[in-house]
Amino acid sequence: MNIFKLNSEKAKAFLNKISSRQADMEDKVLDTVREIINKVRQNGDNALIGYAKQFDKVDLKSLEVSSIELSEAENKIDKDVKKAIDKAYENIWEFQSAQKPEDFIYEKEGIVSKTRYIPIETAGIYVPGGKAAYPSSVLMNAIPARAAGVKNIIMTVPCDENGGINPEVLYAAKLCKVDRIFKVGGAQAIAALAYGTESIPKVDVITGPGNIYVSVAKKLVYGAVNVDMIAGPSEILIVSDGNQNPSYIAADLISQAEHDELASSILLTLSDKEAEAVSNEVGVQLSKLPKSKIASEAIKNYGAILVCDTKQELIDIANQIAPEHLEVLLEDKKFTDSLINAGCIFSGKYSPEPLGDYMAGPNHILPTNGSARAFSPLGIQSFMKRSNYIEASKEGLEKIYKDIACFAKAENLDGHANSILRRFSDDE
């Protein structure tokens, strides 16, 4: 694993490479994604069936998962896996549902102002497939939607070459009471959710991670529909004071590298000795990993260990990178509060990243590629909208109507002023 001094030219080049990879990938697929979206808008289900044959190598007779397929899924699951999914559901539901916001009411001198939180009516959740099946992504999408009070949850997920969907994914969807499931993936699924087809209803918001085609499609349909975020490849940043277990750190770096070849795994440490130990341990663990080819490629191209001189440098670089997952291994806890840019912070050696992927309760659908500076994890509020409400009595309006009219006239909006003044004119 590459080891660089933080202030070296190689470190600077690496950090620039990490920060620009999303934009570079988007440019390469933009025209293709735009064409896919246009074809789905024009040809609806026929386009989706055609793309399933082209990309997934399957000739679909029906796009929608049947009730029989859904009911049979539970019987195909290993009992221990089912138990794990049930436990994850329980933890995630408890955490997410506890955060449901309440309406805010403010009253002053005869005027009632309110912010209302209203569930979105129809949500489209995208669950990735392809290289792996992710029942955890079903839970992380559907549970906050259901907890928010969304009436209709529409799910899309790529099928296999036989037209089937992973039974664990279907079981998770059934557990979450997903209303309808469609065998559609990629940019074409995002287009179908955004604009609707003969079979797939148009939704109000689209959530869920996917590959670069999915991310670019979400960016292009934003405005026709709301989206949660534009996510990129998975990433982990570990901040260490140099006194940690190298075996733990190596395992956690690899845990994200195995997602795909574009995943990023970075360690910031104060110790040259720890850097060498972790680098060696990564090599040892990769040699024993079933997905070693994918993880090794990711570590080679987008992995690095950066050696810093001070704890403040650790903090500054971590906040600059603003990673999806940030593991903090610092004995001095006072520095943790200074870490403000991350999708999720995992504090301490017994809080590895997979804890958040499955069981802790917070969502694992997180902002990537530096967007954690401004974007938030998926959550119950992602499936709600805010609406303002104002109600004034005559006495309340009378106390401020002249100020309102004055303000309106200052902006040359005489109609606005007239709307206020007319209520207190002699001929009311």
Q: What is the CA radius of gyration of the chain?
A: 25
User: Which of the following is catalytic: 258, 274, 281, 324?
Assistant: 324
Q: Was 198 annotated as part of a binding site?
A: no
* Cross-strand partners of 106: 113
Q: Was 357 annotated as part of a binding site?
A: yes
d(CA 89, CA 316): 36
Q: Was 364 annotated as part of a binding site?
A: no
d(CA 146, CA 415): 44
Q: Was 259 annotated as part of a binding site?
A: yes
| DSSP structural state of residue 214 | H
Which stretches does DSSP call E strand in 84-167? 104-108, 111-119, 122-126, 152-156
324 is catalytic: yes
Q: Was 211 annotated as part of a binding site?
A: yes
Q: Was 416 annotated as part of a binding site?
A: yes
d(CA 276, CA 252): 16
User: Which of the following is catalytic: 235, 274, 281, 325?
Assistant: 325
**Alpha-carbon distance values, 154 to 150, 187, 190, 208 (Å):** 10, 16, 12, 12
Q: Tell me the HSE value of 155 on the side-chain side, using a 13 A CA sphere.
A: 32
364 is catalytic: no
Q: Tell me the HSE value of 102 on the side-chain side, using a 13 A CA sphere.
A: 4
d(CA 96, CA 378): 10
Cα distance from N-terminal residue to C-terminal residue, the chain? 79
Residues making up the binding site for NAD(+): 126, 188, 211
Residues making up the binding site for substrate: 234, 256, 259, 325, 357, 411, 416
Report the catalytic residues. 324-325
Residues making up the binding site for Zn(2+): 256, 259, 357, 416
